[in-house]
Copies of this chain bind each other. A is one copy, B any other.
């Protein structure tokens, strides 16, 4: 799975004795909440008022025990014998994910991938959308993409607000520098699409999406299947 959250960032607070409610939802659960949310939105669009763990689990592609355990971490508001109230659950999950008050998303790197991300419908649907596009290439500055005007990366500090999320879609060679500049500008959550390992200071969350790694993992499974087939006849 994704390890997501960058390394040594358990600095938040020392194991203080007077720690308050530490509901602390597990990472694995967090990673599934967006999937549940999407399924719930679909159900709501279909006019469903309530849904059972069984039905929601199927729509989300997980099993129902896992779904119930996940929701129980949120303090869950299902009704035994009935199921979950769709609208209520949407509210709960959105709130948990912090989608209620949208934070801005700043994308750096307007090459092929950056353009694709800027135009990606999935973002806009609920809660999150890209608010600013930046690039180091002055030839691209001023260009209009998906309703946004590309600005120069030197304007970074002007477009970053408290709680911004940074998205890096630059070539690998530029990624670490862009990352450093994002961090310097106050960004503490970064999504990296460049195929390189980034280093961030403690307290900064870093996730990565690496397209070629995904393909290589599939290559492994494909390879293993082939080996099994040919070797099984022994």
Contacts and interface: CB of A to CB of B under 8 A. Distances in A.
Contacts of A228: 9, 12-13
Range class of the A interface residue count: 35 or more
Interface of A: 1, 3-5, 7, 9, 12-13, 20, 28, 30-31, 33-35, 37-39, 59-61, 96-99, 103, 105, 111-113, 115-117, 119-123, 125, 127-128, 163, 165, 167, 171-172, 188-191, 195-199, 205, 207, 209-226, 228, 232, 234
16 contacts: A1-B1, A5-B225, A7-B61, A34-B212, A37-B216, A60-B197, A61-B197, A117-B211, A122-B172, A122-B210, A125-B195, A128-B215, A191-B218, A207-B218, A209-B211, A209-B214
A126 to B, nearest CB: 8
Nearest to A190: B218
B35 A103 contact: no
Nearest to A38: B195
Given A60-B197, A222-B98, A232-B12, A119 B112 contact: yes
Contacts of A59: 197
Given A112-B115, A128-B212, 18 more contacts: A5-B221, A12-B228, A34-B213, A38-B195, A97-B216, A97-B220, A98-B224, A103-B223, A111-B116, A113-B120, A117-B211, A122-B195, A123-B211, A127-B216, A128-B216, A163-B226, A165-B215, A188-B222
A18 B128 CA distance: 53
B20 A1 contact: no
**Residue of A127, A163, A165, A215 with most chain B CB atoms under a 10 A cut-off:** A215
A72 to B, nearest CB: 17
Nearest to A197: B61
